[in-house]
Structure 1
């Protein structure tokens, strides 16, 4: 299977497409990454408004409910129950608002954060079972605090998954604020523990240990968080640390851990814990909200900067891609134009100039090699194309020189053929004249019959000599001035064939052939008849039939041999219609070459077809312009006798040298 051929243009395009495509892919990838970074920063605003703030509200309500539940369980009375019931309703409303608001930011919320958010909602909606246990006082205050702690922890895990931006500074500030929020959560846990102990007027060993751990944890988280904030965000917290509110809370926290004894009544200082704790919690919550808002506001300029950077990079990248494409297209067109120029130069040489030179050489014209081989010039800057153009110049010069040399060689061979044939023809003429004189002098029938055989053989030799003259492009030299009957022409042709006795002639006597064409038609018919006798069995006949046609006269030479194959017959008919240049290597079909040349010389159409008897029929259509009204009366009978080609001297007396 032949491989598919592609043009130079297509291959150059393929070469250009690969790097340009890679450049476009790199540009698109960079643009997408930049856009994603900018969009991720812009998502923080939506997540903050619809997830972070509502989640903080839920945590705040859970913290308040936790404190009231611990106070209710520690007091062992129902005085706090109406307030607790109202707080539970607030918690459920905060959860509902969170679920509704978070749905609006689902696409902007990271998957892990969304999972924790759904888990928080599920836990918060599952508080009814624990609330029932609180109402029935099936839990201690510490157990209720721990249960609420597990729910609020899920809320803080929502914050831990808030990693939308890739900016390390923003991530660090977010983590610091989360640490401070966790410190505030620990403060709420402390308040819940103390709320239960204040109601019971004493602190158990477990409650005391838990409060001590919470104190240490609160201080650690708060100091770590404030320490990781930058100067702008840390300033409000440092101001808070120096305020009376923070000092009062810290002193109260120290008093509880230092002066309270497990199992005994609480000191009078601890009774003011709720007031100090609430003030600290509110203030710290406000600062955390302001810090979160500040961090969120910082993302907007970063996003805008990223998007501007993306726009500039995209614009510059697009310009580079466009320049690369345009330059590549221009380069491809220039190289393609050079290659097309080479192609046109090659076509010009192969299809026009070289055939024109060969045609002139066949007509015998002189050809100036230098004038016919101008250098191939291609406008371009590609060195390889210039080298190929120079090679084409050398090739065309070599080709035309070879054509000139071959024409000279053919002309030399033709001259050799012609000279040898002319010499043989002269000798054969003399031999025929001598035989004619001998035939007239000899009276012995046996000797006369042998002389007739030699005469017949000499006539055939003369035809072969004329064949060489025809192949050389010259005329045989014999001719008639007056028309000759076509019957006598066919008879004369038949007598030049070795097996002439096998030939049956069925040509009418009336139609005549113009004198100038007689010699060539005798030769043409003789070649066809000889082929018919050679390629048919010896015991069969060859029939020559002739009749007048609308466009002239047709002769049909039919044999009863084995015939010719269809493919070979097509080739032979093509050669007869358009005789090719004679090839010295192809000497098996000399007769067909001669027939084709003679037919072309006089406009005669010769074709072969299969015979109904299995052999081959040769059809000769002689055009009307070669036909005469009738043979010259004075030569009508003599011409028939002259058909014996040597039995009388009539034909030779009519020849023109």
Structure 2
């Protein structure tokens, strides 16, 4: 007999006896159902462990908030600490009993419980006021983070999208609840002390941002029921009260005494945290219910597949092995050739083409085997040739585009620089106030034109020719950025900490800030101001630009932050927001981090974190010659 050369004929030979097909399908189905059953059972136990762990976390969160308030000076919280500590100990006991049964992930949770070893000592020091508020917050937050991370360390292996979404929703809600609880404890201590001190305010702002991000993440994977429950919590009177108190704390951060009572804040924030915890518990119940459904479905399918496999195995195993071997061997050879072509041959050929080195299209070796495999090999050759040709064309197009833009940017920059010099000469020789005011307006317009020219150079990778030999004060850098925007009178500098910026980065930082401030002015109504805050942080120098616009949707923020990170080329962008690409290039060059986040009430906050390496010490700066 001639061996069939086409896959179609070989599959027909394999499927001829119905028992052969049944053995194959039943065997695969049995293995899959067994895996699903095991994964569902494991996930059910895992979610139960997560629920018990998060109950202990919830109690520790409440004890953390009351302890911070007591250490902040509010003695009224001392009476509440005793019951909360007892509840935390009771939750710890329940978790220990569950860990004794060794559910999945028990070892990781057991290790994380070691972070609670100093709890008794800390409680005693808190009662005698020997501990500090920052120490207590750090201890409890570290313990909560370790417990949550350990509870979610075991990954879901069921492959079910609904179950994965339920677990992702549960994790997002846990993160949101922890952020809200940490915000409650942090501000409780601040209000008990009367005002923000030291690093309290930046920490409070970061916690608020983390909470908002976690609350925004949860609806992406939540069911409609959980989304509605979360929306109801966020629209509840306690949530509205918490948002109002947050805003009072943010706007009055510099006051000697904040206009919010610690007891009022604790009541409202605790109600919100308890509501979020309730939604979190409901999400855990949903995950367990889905795991139970998968376990029941997998068990029924497993029994059916086992019955079919046992009934058909005697007549189909020999024929199945022979037919499978005749197909898998040539397919494996083709797979090996395709993998080598994709991983080594084609990338090397494309790289040589992009470097301008002439190269011939690689040819696959899949000429033997069946007729279908030979056709597939020829198709792979055509795909390879087309990909190589497109890579050459795209490389040439991008190179030519970049060179043209760079040439145009340099010409415009030279003309504008000459124009600014001529305007400066006219200003020095003019004494008429009206004419001088007009010259200043022309000077401001030319400065903005120079920024646009430099934007072209930034987009194509050119560096700014403007450099300063000595470090420059950050206040001057921010004011220089204001000089490059149109409606600079609407920009209010709320706070600018004293610092010196390295002279080589002055022009690029001013350019970056000008682009962000320009966007904020465009987004804000004409009768509102744009606020700028600049503060020294432990990680560098943080500058925040707050607009009063309508804000941005989550998808818009994600796209904008992708552009600001420098990961996206302006040549493939679909919109006209070239300023974002300019900021992304400048941030990547400076090593800065630029992010857009929703403001607490309305609008968008653009934050720029300059690395500490760009800041110069004043004493060293004074030794540099002018």
In our comparison, the structure showing a higher alpha carbon Rg is 1
* TM-score in terms of structure 2 length: 0.48
Higher RCO, Cα 8 Å, sep 6+:
2
* TM-score in terms of structure 1 length: 0.46
